[in-house]
Chain A
Amino acid sequence: MASLIAGANAALTAENPGLDAVLIGFGWDVIASRGPQSEPVPLAIMCGDDGKALSDDHLVFFNQVESQDGAVTFSSEADDEEIDVELSRVPDAVSKIAFLLYIDPDVRGPGDFSPVRSAFVRVATPDGRELVRFDVPIAEVRSSQALLLAELYRHRSDWKFRALGQGYAGGLAGVARDFRIDL
């Protein structure tokens, strides 16, 4: 199992012949509060060569649990939440799948990652064997409302995983603008 730093990438299918599906697990630790809590929400966006979402139907989260093609699906398992990717079913038009974590923007705040002690994203095989893990440098993104955690991307005929950990100060509005989706 490899632990990545921000900016690093790891080969998935090249290093694991026969790998045709992965589990993307998300976890976080929020400082308990008697008042309204920050609620992290994972989101996956399937993007084309231009880095933009193919469509509003090509995103997956807890209330849109399956992409149009069925290749990317949401579930709630051992990690706080999990997104499953069947690599063989990902349409050719998809160059990468971006994985984000946003703080639900309820107007009754708080709306950023300041109460989040830690967060991680990991890649595992369907039987749970962890391949790579990225522990997000939370201290650097506490004032953000959304994070671009990592991406799964095609590299020639293989799939690779890149750790990012970039914050969006504009929150979901920034995400919607960058990925050209309606949120």
Chain B
Amino acid sequence: MAQAEPVASAPAAPPPATPAASAAPSTGLTLGGPSTPAAAPPAPAASAAPSAPSTGLSLGGSSSPAPATPSGRPATTPAAAPTTPQPFPAPTAEEVRVLDDETPLVRLDPRQSAIGSLIVGGATATVWETVELVTGVATADGIDGTPVTTPGNRPLLGFDGGDAILALRHVHLIRRALFVGTAGHPLTVQLFDGESFAAADDTGAPPVVSLLRIGSRLELRLEPLPAEIPLETLLQQFGFEPTPYVVAREPRRR
């Protein structure tokens, strides 16, 4: 199942070996403006909520012809300031117990999205893609692609004690991720504030949960798959291409 948005097939320049991000993430502060931190990728087309309201940007101007003034010329309507599109309504972590065919989507609030660890139990593979399109995969066999280490010396996303853990202090580094489970067993998601929920595939296929960062919020979605498919095929269908891992070498000197 291909992602709605295009993904670069290869970076223009070789990525750094273990890209450590800057010590303090840029928040792109706008005084008095809407609360939007570091630039986030545009949200993919909403597919989980058919009745969701439109989130398209409203550009200035009236949709109906402006009434004519006494001079005969149509009155001009001052252009309205463009508004930041808000995401469509989605269930919160408090409202969801299980991600399934009926409720495949959950959206975390800014605090749940940025404090402590997002812990996914039951995963056999996890995939990450950063805002710089650095991509990697972690399984029990090791890591393919490029690992990403945060300024706090932790993997941005990786396995620890059998759980897949996302370091939320550096949530602004992540663009999207994937968690792959085992057929017949649910994935479990645990947040810092104690909220937790499961993700179960009713068809018996391995549950696959995608994670997307939209501004300051994380969205997790149960992805329906027709059957158990190889991890490599899954990565291709979601548009993940592991970034070649280049170990930094000492500069050559005379």
A contact set with B: CB distance below 8 Å: 33-39, 41, 56, 59, 61-66, 70, 73-76, 80-81, 84, 86, 104-108, 172, 176, 182-183
Contacts and interface: CB of A to CB of B under 8 A. Distances in A.
Interface string B141-179: 000000000011110000010000101110110000000
Contacts, number: 105
Which range contains the number of B residues in contact with the other chain?
A: 35 or more
A112 to B, nearest CB: 14
Contacts of A172: 115, 192
10 contacts: A59-B111, A61-B114, A62-B172, A63-B171, A63-B172, A64-B35, A64-B114, A65-B36, A74-B29, A183-B193
A70 B116 contact: no
B12 to A, nearest CB: 27
A39 B24 contact: no
Interface string B164-208: 010111011000000000000000000011000000000000000
Contacts of A64: 35, 110-111, 114, 216
* Interface residues of B, dominant DSSP: loop
A176 B172 CA distance: 23
A93 to B, nearest CB: 19
B31 interface: yes
A107 B160 contact: yes
A35 B153 contact: yes
Given A36-B152, A39-B169, A107-B160, A62 B25 contact: yes
Contacts of B172: 62-63
Interface of B: 23-27, 29-37, 109-111, 113-117, 119, 151-154, 160, 165, 167-169, 171-172, 192-193, 216
Contacts of B167: 106, 108
B192 A63 contact: no
Given A36-B153, A65-B37, A84 B111 contact: no
A80 B25 CA distance: 10
Given A86-B31, A104-B152, A105-B116, 15 more contacts: A35-B153, A36-B153, A36-B154, A41-B169, A56-B109, A63-B172, A70-B33, A75-B27, A104-B116, A104-B168, A105-B115, A108-B160, A108-B165, A172-B115, A182-B193
Contact of B115 (A66, A80, A104): A104
A63 B29 contact: no
Nearest to A102: B115
Most buried by A among B27, B36, B109, B119: B27
A62 B172 CA distance: 10
A170 to B, nearest CB: 13
Contacts of B114: 61-64
